[in-house]
Amino acid sequence: MSGLLIEGVSHAFDDVAVVRDVSVMAAPGEVVCLLGPSGCGKTTLLRVAAGLERLQHGRVCIDDTVVADAAGGIHLPPERRGIGLMFQDYALFPHLTVRDNIRFGIGADTPERRTWIDQAIRGMDLDGHADSFPHTLSGGQQQRVALLRALAPNPKVLLLDEPFSGLDVSRRAQVRQQTLDTLKQAGVTALMVTHDPEEAMFMADRILVMNQGRVVQDGTPVETYFQPANAFVAGFFGPVNRLPGRVANGHVTTPLGRFAAAGLADGAGVSVLVRPEGLHLIVNADGNFTVLSARPLGGTSMVAVEIPDGVGKLTLEARVPGIFLPATGSRVDVSVDQDAAYVFEN
């Protein structure tokens, strides 16, 4: 297939498995993010795809060409794979100007490529810096130079490892948007590693969530956020409240109401996970729930409420739009947005 295909890749360091039977498909022009906690094997998988790690099991194809095949003994070096690489430290050449950094690695220095470089420098707001050296640039400017250097040879596939991690939060949003626009304009297939769910959702057409060396979910940003495959994925995308329960007649009953437990056996112990923004509060002097605290967060307010769970007491956190600061000790009614609640077996 055109684009990038990673098939059945497993990888171990000193007999410790860090990538376990992972397959990734990225269609031409698609941006796919590998998302997961530190140590789950994302970077190793990217390095295997790049050819920086020797493939141990499986196959890697780039634009219909097999670039690595463990069984067939094929292992093309990185420079023959038609890929661009961009790492978190950017690795710009300090002794080369911005223009020369970007030009580096272009095989044929054709008029077309020279025009592309000029336009790309302008498009990335680097016009005044074409002849500057990297150390005189801000982090965001260096990031953009690194991106253009990776794209300049017109690679089929671009591999990016935490490309925004060196930037402060205020810069990140703008650089992310510029990077996404540039990738889409270039029509390049991109595989990007990140541990930041928000970044993955912003950048990706598809997210592969990894945990302990395996892909645990493959879906669009909306699917991975709103239809998590398991409790790990639900919790990785943001905080969740947990309500314990047991399945009876295909449902689980909690102090917050009844939830469908599709596919789970009667009697199974489960957790109902509810995102903080899935809880709706209404002040009611006769309400069943007690406010423990309420703090403003700017556009939203975080309200902790105590609910009687039948055994002991349970604290839930609700994120409510706008300023909503009921007094500690006041009573509220709580309802749940069913789309933001997930039932998983314990």
Query: What residues make contact with ligand ATP under the rule CB under 6 A?
Result: 13, 18, 36, 38-44, 195
Q: Which CB, 156 or 176, lies closer to ligand ATP?
A: 176
Q: Which CB, 99 or 195, lies closer to ligand ATP?
A: 195
Q: Which CB, 44 or 101, lies closer to ligand ATP?
A: 44
Q: Which CB, 63 or 162, lies closer to ligand ATP?
A: 162
C-alpha pair distances (Å), 276 with each of 25, 55, 98, 317, 336: 33, 42, 45, 6, 10
Residue 156 structure tokens? 């089929």
Q: How far is the CB of 124 from ligand ATP (least distance, A)?
A: 26
Q: Which CB, 195 or 319, lies closer to ligand ATP?
A: 195
Q: How far is the CB of 324 from ligand ATP (least distance, A)?
A: 36
Cβ atoms of 133 and 141 within 8 Å: the answer is no
Q: Which CB, 41 or 84, lies closer to ligand ATP?
A: 41
Q: How far is the CB of 155 from ligand ATP (least distance, A)?
A: 21
Q: State residue 76 phi and psi, 5-degree precision.
A: -75, 140
Q: How far is the CB of 40 from ligand ATP (least distance, A)?
A: 4
Residue 29 structure tokens? 């022009």
Q: How far is the CB of 284 from ligand ATP (least distance, A)?
A: 46
Residue 128, Ramachandran bin (φ over 0: left; ψ between -120 and 50: alpha; else beta):
alpha
Q: Which CB, 43 or 101, lies closer to ligand ATP?
A: 43
Q: How far is the CB of 276 from ligand ATP (least distance, A)?
A: 26
Q: Which CB, 49 or 151, lies closer to ligand ATP?
A: 49
CB contact set of 12 (below 8 Å; sequence gap of 6+): 18, 56
Q: Which CB, 46 or 341, lies closer to ligand ATP?
A: 46
Nearest to 75 by CA among 9, 155, 162: 9
Q: How far is the CB of 104 from ligand ATP (least distance, A)?
A: 26
Q: How far is the CB of 201 from ligand ATP (least distance, A)?
A: 17
Largest CA distance in the chain: 77
Q: How far is the CB of 140 from ligand ATP (least distance, A)?
A: 21
